[in-house]
Amino acid sequence: MNRREFLSRTLRAGVLAAAAGSLSYWLYDGRGPGPDSTAQGNLVVLPDFSVPELSGRMSVITGADRIRTVDMGLKAVGGIEAFIRKGDGVLIKVNAAFASPPILGATTNPQLVSHVATLCRKAGASSVVVTDNPINDPQSCFTLSGIGDAARSAGARLMLPTGSSFAPTTVPHGKLIRDWPLLHAPFQGVNKVIGIAPVKDHHRSGASMIMKNWYGLLGGQRNIFHQNINDIILELAMMVKPTLVILDGTTSMMTNGPTGGSLSDLKQTRCMIVSTDQVAADACGASLLGKRAADLPFILKAQNAGLGTADYESLNPAREAVG
Amino acid sequence: MAVQPEKTETLVGMAILALLVVIAAGILMRQSRYDPQWFTMSRSEHEIPQAAGELSHLQELLPDGWVPLTPLETFSPENLSDKINGKAELYLAAGFQKLESQRFKRSDQDDSWLELFVFDMGSTRNAFAVFSTQRRTGSTPVDLTRHAYQTENALFFVHGRDYVEVIAAEEGLADEMLAIGRNFVERKPVQSDELSEQSLFPRKNLNAESIALLASDAFGFSRLNNIFTAKYNIAGQEMRAFLSVRPSGADAQQLAEAYHAFLLENGGSDVDSGTNLPEIKLIEIFDLYELIFVHGRVLAGVHEAESKDAALELGLTLYRELQEVDESQ
């Protein structure tokens, strides 16, 4: 090989390498894989379910009887009729994450679900859907937690997730929830959303309350979000703007959350929080766990994103004690 | 002078290039239809298939009158969070390898049930880490293994490399849970589950049930791993002693210095210990006291003492204990 041929071959090799590199760069998707790139034109976005004229309402009711405290709590924020009107389609997002018995407090209390669903129907709701995409097998979770029977007994429709229940969503301005499967089918015909969650310690985020509970609306391999727990909770709160939230601190899971396992993980904190501000509800719930809002970064992030206030006292919550 | 390739070489070269083009086209086609959900194991895939009527080995532990409520489930590090969600990180950080779980019920009572969890943690040390960091206060020790206790509705114990939980859906099943525990222990003989570090803590003022092993991120410092802690009550003040046997004295020294620097970076300030032991560092941080020292391969100290005197009292007791252990060996 002579010098001229060497240079010529080197040049051709260089051009080939540059072409291959350029092609790779052109094909590179820096955003990463979505759930179904063919459905990008069919992204769903949840509407705003809040009632603007009822914003900033909150009640904190003390007592051991959930039915009485939630009744009082709802009355103090205007009554269920202020939120649910005749013909409304209501979705109740519960925490049915685990196939765990009600006494362990890892899931939403079934009596509370039944009662709120009944109130919605009495207020004129045309349909009430109870749903969640649990961590464990959905059938077992709804059966063993007692939520399935509770929902049915109240005339609500129980919707367990199936493969066709999901549609891709992207949270506007979100960095994590992009083209990600959302449990969307239960939202068909729904114009009001109520979140009901227990107060729990959480090994990763420090607490699992209202905002963390929206995690059960995600599908796919969502456990990857645990590496970025505070940001995913923030984006969940950005994704769901509920009509009303009910944070059940009648019994709080103080340790070993989110699963618990022992009755000794629980404490009778005797508190029911009803609010239209999910950030305020979580901030108040944090105090039941002996924490401040400042101890839980996701609360401050949500406040900074304009989703509500961590200074729940500024809402002048109605306070009552029953029993 | 250029050498012209033979016809065969040209053909082979063309064939290879054609093959590469086909492979590239295949990759592009597959990638354009990528859906991460396809790569998530379905529940049915991560459960061990169990034919109807087939006995699982956990079922063999049951007392009379109990039958399976659900099939045996098995989870690996990749899908542990499908079972215990956010708590999975605790187990993964401690070396988790496999979980087997199954629910059982009374044969004549559907709502009387319990769930058995067997976490294979890879070693007694790892099993003790998850056992001790979740230990419930006010629980009742059980004469089952060296590390075992029960609460109103649950039984927790370490046996060899396994951390076992038996969780009932109601109170009043203590006998049944214990029977399952005893069957488990009897059917699986193991070596001694003694962890040598536990005996290094001074006995005086020690809450023996409080000894815990923090697998990672101890006291909020990411480099502080494999740390044993124990609660002490001195003059009405509660604090924790800690110790960790490191691979070498140099490693222990390096870690001590890093932890010391971490405390100073986070608002701590050095305080004169008033002792003639220069290796002891005393730091005041947020109105609490941290004490750190290295003895041989052991990094040790006191965490969150309310007063300087209490920190020093416990720290010096621990220091002397480690010296005595050295001298006796």
DSSP-assigned states of every residue in B91-136: HHHTT--EEEEEEEEETTEEEEEEEEEEEE-SSHHHHHHHHHHTPP
Which of A31, A36, A98, A203 is the best substitution to test chain B (most B C-beta atoms within 10 A)? A203
Retrieve residue B91's tokens.
Answer: 């187990």
Q: Which residues 92-111 on chain A approach chain B with CB closer than 8 angstroms?
A: 97-99, 101, 103-104
DSSP code per residue over B291-323: EEEEETTEEEEEEEESSHHHHHHHHHHHHHHHH
Exposure pattern of B277-293 as b/e (b: 16+ CB <10 Å)?
eeebbbbbeeebbbbbb
Run of H or E including B83: helix B81-84
- pLDDT for B190 equals 87
Beta bridge partners of A201: A207
Task: Say if CB B298 and CB B246 are below 8 A apart.
Answer: yes
For B203-231, how does the pLDDT look when each residue is reduced to its tens digit (9 = 90+)? 999 998 899 999 988 999 999 999 999 99
Predicted confidence band of residue A49 (pLDDT cuts 50, 70, 90): very high
Alpha-carbon separation of residue A285 from A34, A209, A265, B318 (angstroms): 34, 7, 16, 40
User: Do A204 and B89 lie within an 8 Å CB cutoff?
Assistant: yes
User: Do B134 and A256 lie within an 8 Å CB cutoff?
Assistant: yes
B134 lies within 8 A of chain A by CB: yes
Q: How far apart are CA B145 and CA B128, in angstroms?
A: 12
A256 lies within 8 A of chain B by CB: yes
Please report, as a single letter, which amino acid is at residue A93.
K
Q: What is the mean pLDDT of chain B?
A: 89
Average pLDDT over residues B270-284: 88
Q: Residue A281 burial (CB < 10 Å; 0-12/13-18/19+)?
A: buried
Q: How far apart are CA B302 and CA B242, in angstroms?
A: 6
Q: How far apart are CA B192 and CA A97, in angstroms?
A: 38
Residue reference for tokens 């009572």 = B109
Strands B206-214 and B162-168: unpaired
* Domain assignment present for A310: yes
- What residue in B sits closest to A261 (Cα-Cα)? B167
B135 lies within 8 A of chain A by CB: no
Tell which residue, A250, A267, A256, has the closest CA to residue A110: A250
User: Do A259 and B85 lie within an 8 Å CB cutoff?
Assistant: yes
From chain A, pick out residues whose CB is under 8 angstroms from the CB of B140.
none
- pLDDT for B193 equals 66
Tell which residue, A31, A300, A48, A58, has the closest CA to residue A178: A31
Q: Which residues 22-51 on chain A approach chain B with CB closer than 8 angstroms?
A: 27, 33-38
User: Do A35 and B36 lie within an 8 Å CB cutoff?
Assistant: yes
- Sign of the dihedral through C-alpha A203, B89, A261, B229: negative
A296 lies within 8 A of chain B by CB: no
- pLDDT for A40 equals 46
Nearest by CB to B2, from A5, A36, A257: name it: A5
Alpha-carbon separation of residue A52 from A49, A55, A58, A265, B295 (angstroms): 9, 5, 14, 38, 64
User: Do B37 and A220 lie within an 8 Å CB cutoff?
Assistant: yes
- What residue in A sits closest to B39 (Cα-Cα)? A221
B4 lies within 8 A of chain A by CB: no
First-to-last C-alpha distance (Å) of chain B: 80
Predicted confidence band of residue B189 (pLDDT cuts 50, 70, 90): confident
Q: How far apart are CA A152 and CA A140, in angstroms?
A: 15
Which of A264, A267, A295, A298 is the best substitution to test chain B (most B C-beta atoms within 10 A)? A264
* Domain assignment present for A15: no
- pLDDT for B48 equals 45
Beta bridge partners of B243: B228, B300
- Residue A160: pLDDT over 90: yes
From chain A, pick out residues whose CB is under 8 angstroms from the CB of B81.
135, 223, 226
Q: Which structural domain range is residue A52 located in?
A: 48-321
- Residue B320: pLDDT over 80: yes
3-state SS, chain A, equals: CCHHHHHHHHHHHHHHHHHHHHHHHHHCCCCCCCCCHHHHHHCECCCECCCHHHCCCEEEEECCCHHHHHHHHHHHCCCHHHHCCCCCEEEEECCCCCCCCHHHCCCCCHHHHHHHHHHHHHCCCCEEEEECCCCCCHHHHHHHCCHHHHHHHCCCEEECCCHHHEEEECCCCCCCCCCEEEECHHHCCCCEEEEEEEEEEECCCEEECHHHHHHHHECCCHHHHHHHHHHHHHHHHHHCECCEEEEEEEEEECCCCCCCCCHHHEEEEEEEEEECCHHHHHHHHHHHCCCCHHHCHHHHHHHHCCCCCCCHHHHCCEEEECC
Beta bridge partners of B67: B105
Predicted confidence band of residue A67 (pLDDT cuts 50, 70, 90): very high
Average pLDDT over residues A165-172: 95
For A182-193, how does the pLDDT look when each residue is reduced to its tens digit (9 = 90+)? 999 999 999 999
Average pLDDT over residues A269-282: 98
User: Do A263 and B82 lie within an 8 Å CB cutoff?
Assistant: no
- Residue B34: pLDDT over 70: no
More confident residue, A291 or B275: A291
Q: What is the CATH number of the domain that holds A306?
A: 3.40.50.11440
* Domain assignment present for A83: yes
> Could you say which DSSP state residue B80 is in?
T
More confident residue, B85 or A154: A154
Helical segments of B156-275, H only: 174-187, 249-265
- pLDDT for B35 equals 52
Average pLDDT over residues B284-291: 94
- pLDDT for B191 equals 78
From chain A, pick out residues whose CB is under 8 angstroms from the CB of B92.
none
- pLDDT for A25 equals 82
- pLDDT for B55 equals 74
Q: How far apart are CA A97 and CA A105, in angstroms?
A: 11
- Mean pLDDT lowest for which of A62-66, A109-113, B12-16, B164-168? B12-16
Q: How far apart are CA B31 and CA A106, in angstroms?
A: 40
A223 lies within 8 A of chain B by CB: yes
> Could you say which DSSP state residue B279 is in?
T
Predicted confidence band of residue B39 (pLDDT cuts 50, 70, 90): very low
Predicted confidence band of residue B327 (pLDDT cuts 50, 70, 90): low
- pLDDT for B112 equals 93
* Domain assignment present for A2: no
Predicted confidence band of residue B52 (pLDDT cuts 50, 70, 90): very low
- pLDDT for A41 equals 56
From chain B, pick out residues whose CB is under 8 angstroms from the CB of A221.
36-37, 39-40
Task: Kindly indicate whether the ipTM for this predicted assembly is greater than 0.85, answering yes or no.
Answer: no
User: Do A140 and B89 lie within an 8 Å CB cutoff?
Assistant: no
- Residue B45: pLDDT over 90: no
> Could you say which DSSP state residue B238 is in?
E
3-state SS, A115-141, equals: HHHHHHHHCCCCEEEEECCCCCCHHHH
First-to-last C-alpha distance (Å) of chain A: 98
- pLDDT for B47 equals 44
Q: Residue A65 burial (CB < 10 Å; 0-12/13-18/19+)?
A: middle
Contacts of B240 (CB under 8 A, 6+ apart): B210, B229, B230, B231, B232, B302, B303, B304
Residue reference for tokens 């009711």 = A61
- pLDDT for B53 equals 54
Domain architecture of chain B: domains with CATH = 53-187 (3.40.1000), 196-328 (3.40.1000)
- Residue B185: pLDDT over 90: yes
* Domain assignment present for A234: yes
Which of B38, B85, B132, B164 is the best substitution to test chain A (most A C-beta atoms within 10 A)? B85
Run of H or E including B18: helix B7-32
Nearest by CB to B139, from A1, A223, A264: name it: A264
- pLDDT for B28 equals 83
- Structural domains in chain A (count): 1
Residue reference for tokens 């020292």 = B293
- What residue in B sits closest to A38 (Cα-Cα)? B33
Please report, as a single letter, which amino acid is at residue A97.
A
Tell which residue, A266, A270, A135, has the closest CA to residue A212: A135
Strands B98-106 and B109-120: antiparallel
Q: What is the mean pLDDT of chain A?
A: 93
CA B1 to chain A, closest CA, distance in angstroms equals 6
More confident residue, A305 or A28: A305
CA A137 to chain B, closest CA, distance in angstroms equals 7
- pLDDT for B41 equals 45
Q: Is the peptide bond before A258 cis (omega within 30 degrees of 0)?
A: yes
B140 lies within 8 A of chain A by CB: no
* Domain assignment present for A39: no
User: Do B86 and A202 lie within an 8 Å CB cutoff?
Assistant: yes
CA B123 to chain A, closest CA, distance in angstroms equals 22
